[in-house]
Structure 1
């Protein structure tokens, strides 16, 4: 139940933080220390920024596409080769159950890297737009795509490898250099990115990894420093707003993948209606996913049937979560005591608002000293309740009845968020509804809408820009137009 100590990776070197300072890495399953992580100082962060700046300005990294592709493929291969280590880190550090670790946590990230590499040949680095006569003479026009520069990549604790890979691999392919700042709760998954970059032979300064116990210090420096050209951030909407404010003085480009309160819409003609409703349970990785649909919308005409199906589903799941060594287990603890208190606070809010607690809601100290709360479901929920409007980021499902298709769309869109969603019903009808939902990734009848070769991002306060896919590489590119007068 221990992880190796995590080191910083700066300018091609793995090293301790200034003065050898470290902090405790706390395991969610036990609430105990599972390792030590380098605790970066402001001087360490400054050195990482300077290294990334030099690597971009003074080497051929930004222009040598053949070299980049070769080294990123080597890096990808090392990630695959270290799959078992990565799974162990996800289990111990992020609190992932085995069933979740081998899926979204690790294999999702590895397959995502392959998906982005598949998109790399599609980038149009130089386009010939032909000759146009303007102002009485001919001009040959060319459009170029060039790397943005130095990227500050700030990542969360819920699926750390997936988001680390989703930022680092496309940015490196684009020709940018990167300072990766993982969340304080998951330093080991950031540190291994540096370790494998060294092994893959990435040039010094191209990728730098900074871990810190301070959740804000390094991020504040990255978002304000004029040497950093762009910020790619995944996390809460509140922090995303702060990043935009911090970057305003230097007019930084920002990519923001923020919160969500996605809808799971079951139509009255959905195939196997009870089983479909049961599939809405928020249990995978304890609901700690930004695009996870946490609002179940069911037709009033079949509402009681849906509630009975959920009662059965939650009762049947009661003994199937919180097991560290069970290969089929997909739900473990929450990431931290702080998150446990947050989720329990929302359970109390739901009760006070008048929603009916159908299942769960209890902190489970009997499962150990870790951060366990039961899979939880509220029914008789109105969409104006806080538990229906605010992101809880835990295993809490709220169930809302709707009158008809238009009402379902209205409720789904009645949110400050617009990240994901799912619709189940006859294909034509469900697809029409999907096109009306203001969100960035929609699944129809269980189709997969989040993969490495598809763009991912949100509408409204779920963020801006797109990660993964061709669009994810282009997020790290500038566009330049050149007009050359045709002489003679």
Structure 2
């Protein structure tokens, strides 16, 4: 395995260590061993990055020069394609992400998303003519203009870092904003590598894009309170999202939040139960279940419950947990010892709540951070295992008593991020899907994940949308201009 140069921060156009020289270890979650070290960014580093981003927005023509932004984003896209193989290897090593995901959310889709938003920039109409009207008897020509928000603090999680980094950075830069990217301390290297490519392979002006890698939450929180930051774009847990919203409130920053999920896979009584249960179990294993939109509640007809549990368990047993560098791996490790212990605590809670393990239910005793793929039976939707986001390879199977009951169960959640419906009738499936309060939903195997499709949630799954035109426009403000109408 060939790893890239050591991780460095990017502040005001320079690749730098932490201002006090401190570092922290980067671990391979499959082995638990150190593979590198990251700069432990200081408050002074965050201050320098914010100051650079503010200056670049206020004093350069980045926000107004569309052609410059187009050229620079195309350069970054080309650099990512050129660096694809080592970038993918780094992602598997640092994130524990199985190689098959690199063709999707791990690398290829986010890089395609950068190209897509660059193309959108080339055709986007930043001004709309509303024509002439005479409000209060004064003939006026009105124009609606879209302008960049300003300085964006982009705070990203560890589960699919390149996808989420680029889903924030690409649209923000395309819109004309300047950015300070703060990755999760479990996965700082892929963000630092993005910064290196910007510094070494693009004409992006100094200060327009910055990467800081503090391990301290207190240092990172400075991004949410600094009055020079105009917007915080955060993906992560609902608990942290609430804290960020509260921290941003005194300065009334714009806040984008993509938060947790506990998505339901509904199987109706005319569906192929075995196929649907197997597919849902497979999905729950992907990347050890570490995806906010993964369907982790399998909601099946009561009369077919035992069959669904058996199929789901057999599917998970056939998948197992494997080294993410193995070409056949679907379920790798969880990201850290902290996450492994958190998932294990939920497994013990499942037993306390009266659940049984159709398969799995234990930590795997080997180097690294491993959990057996697990199917839990015997719990209803009121259990904590069915209500709380676990972020591990854990599937809870819940019975329903018809379409209305299935809809009730799916919507009986604090979250509303994703879901699916399976039926032998497409129209029936669509009718049920229309009643589910989530930001995305798959019907009879349809796939919503694409750079041009907005992604986000209802309720406590977040505020705003990422990707698609809606995701680009999150980074724009709207200005209405009126001038006297001339004859």
The answer to whether TM tops 0.5 is yes
Q: Which residues of 2 match residues 51-130 of structure 1 at below 5 A?
A: 51-121=52-122, 123-130=124-131
CA distance, structure 2, for counterparts of residue 315 and residue 140 of structure 1: 67
Residue 405 of structure 1, aligned match among 403, 406, 418: 403
Q: Which residues of 2 match residues 64-463 of structure 1 at below 5 A?
A: 64-121=65-122, 123-198=124-199, 199-214=201-216, 216-270=217-271, 272-281=272-281, 282-318=284-320, 321-365=321-365, 368-425=366-423, 426-463=425-462
Mapped contact 2:317–2:373 kept (Cα < 8 A) = no
Mapped contact 2:141–2:484 kept (Cα < 8 A) = yes
Mapped contact 2:145–2:478 kept (Cα < 8 A) = yes
Q: Which runs of 4+ in 1 moved over 6 A?
A: none
Q: Deviations for 1:152-196, whole angstroms, at most 9, x for unmatched residues? A: 000000000000000000000000000000000101011011111
Mapped contact 1:120–1:470 kept (Cα < 8 A) = no
Mapped contact 1:178–1:208 kept (Cα < 8 A) = yes
Q: 1:219 Cα shift? A: 2.7
CA distance, structure 2, for counterparts of residue 41 and residue 325 of structure 1: 34
3-state DSSP class of the match of 1:231? Answer: strand
Q: 1:487 Cα shift? A: 4.7
CA distance, structure 1, for counterparts of residue 445 and residue 45 of structure 2: 45
Mapped contact 1:151–1:178 kept (Cα < 8 A) = yes
CA distance, structure 2, for counterparts of residue 259 and residue 122 of structure 1: 33
CA distance, structure 1, for counterparts of residue 480 and residue 316 of structure 2: 58
Q: 1:103 Cα shift? A: 2.9
Assess, with a 3 A threshold, how the Cα gap between structure 1 residues 432 and 119 changes in structure 2: closer, same or farther.
Answer: farther
CA distance, structure 2, for counterparts of residue 323 and residue 148 of structure 1: 43
Q: 1:328 Cα shift? A: 2.1
Q: 1:2 Cα shift? A: 7.5
Which residue does 1:11 correspond to in 2? Answer: 12
Assess, with a 3 A threshold, how the Cα gap between structure 1 residues 325 and 483 changes in structure 2: closer, same or farther.
Answer: closer
Mapped contact 1:153–1:178 kept (Cα < 8 A) = yes
Mapped contact 2:324–2:333 kept (Cα < 8 A) = no
Which shows bigger deviation, 299-308 or 187-196?
299-308
Query: What TM-score do the two structures reach when normalised by structure 2?
Result: 0.97
CA distance, structure 2, for counterparts of residue 34 and residue 201 of structure 1: 31
Mapped contact 2:98–2:329 kept (Cα < 8 A) = yes
Q: Which structure 2 residue ranges, 5 or more long, are not aligned?
A: none
Assess, with a 3 A threshold, how the Cα gap between structure 1 residues 27 and 325 changes in structure 2: closer, same or farther.
Answer: closer
Assess, with a 3 A threshold, how the Cα gap between structure 1 residues 2 and 72 changes in structure 2: closer, same or farther.
Answer: closer
Q: 1:136 Cα shift? A: 1.8
CA distance, structure 2, for counterparts of residue 165 and residue 411 of structure 1: 34
3-state DSSP class of the match of 1:456? Answer: coil
Q: 1:306 Cα shift? A: 1.3
CA distance, structure 2, for counterparts of residue 314 and residue 211 of structure 1: 36
CA distance, structure 1, for counterparts of residue 446 and residue 313 of structure 2: 26
3-state DSSP class of the match of 2:441? Answer: strand
CA distance, structure 1, for counterparts of residue 473 and residue 212 of structure 2: 25
Q: 1:146 Cα shift? A: 0.1
